[in-house]
Amino acid sequence: MKRFVSTLIATGTLGSVIGCIALASGQPDDTPGSVLGGKLPCGYRDWRLISVAREEGALDDIRAVLGNDAAIKTYREGKLPFPESSAIARLAWSCDVSEENNKSFGKKQSYVAGHPKNGVQFMVKDSVKYASTGGWGYAQFEDGKSVLDAAMIQKCFECHKACKDHDFVFTRYAP
């Protein structure tokens, strides 16, 4: 099964933070009720780094995967499965040649993050509500708006079955 979602929704997302929400306390709302209710939390850009990746092909991006506190704790302790309300965000940008860096290096070798690309994707653990998709709810935002319908979420899950042994999460922690 292919990762259709990322490929199908490969549009720019400049302005992904539009419409994000925060709790009255000022803390980011990273609860399943926010992300999976179709509302982009303000605070996900502050989550800590899990890892980075480069996708060539149709996606053609450079990406970072961030996790909320519950997710990071689980990664670092190495104890699967992820607990309830764990949340993981995948951000991606165009993979742009850096002329500035290359000039300093004296050769063409450097690529940096450009404009946001391929949406912002989330996995949020709610093992009761999302029991049918491995205990994870999936969401994707384009320009701050949730864009996944039920069929697309099912495709997310079908793909993530490949890493069932890692609680359906592809990304490993970068040490």
Question: Which residues of the shown chain bind a second copy in the complex (CB under 8 A)?
Answer: 1-3, 14, 45-46, 48-49, 51-57, 59, 62-64, 66, 91, 93, 95, 98, 100-101, 103-113, 115-116, 159, 162-163, 170-172, 174-175
CA distance 121 to 139: 6
* DSSP output for 5-51: HHHHT--B-TTTTTT-BB-TTSSB--SHHHHTTT--BGGGGGSEEEE
CA distance 153 to 173: 24
Nearer to a second copy, 33 or 69 (CB): 69
φ, ψ of residue 78 to 5 degrees: the values are 70, 25
Nearer to a second copy, 79 or 115 (CB): 115
Nearer to a second copy, 33 or 161 (CB): 161
Min dist CB 80 to a second copy, Å, is 16
Min dist CB 139 to a second copy, Å, is 19
CA distance 5 to 64: 17
Nearer to a second copy, 79 or 172 (CB): 172
**Cα–Cα distance list, 40 to 45, 80, 88, 145 (Å):** 11, 26, 13, 7
45 CB-near residues (< 8 Å, 6+ apart): 17, 66, 91
Min dist CB 155 to a second copy, Å, is 11
Min dist CB 84 to a second copy, Å, is 22
Min dist CB 128 to a second copy, Å, is 27
Nearer to a second copy, 59 or 129 (CB): 59
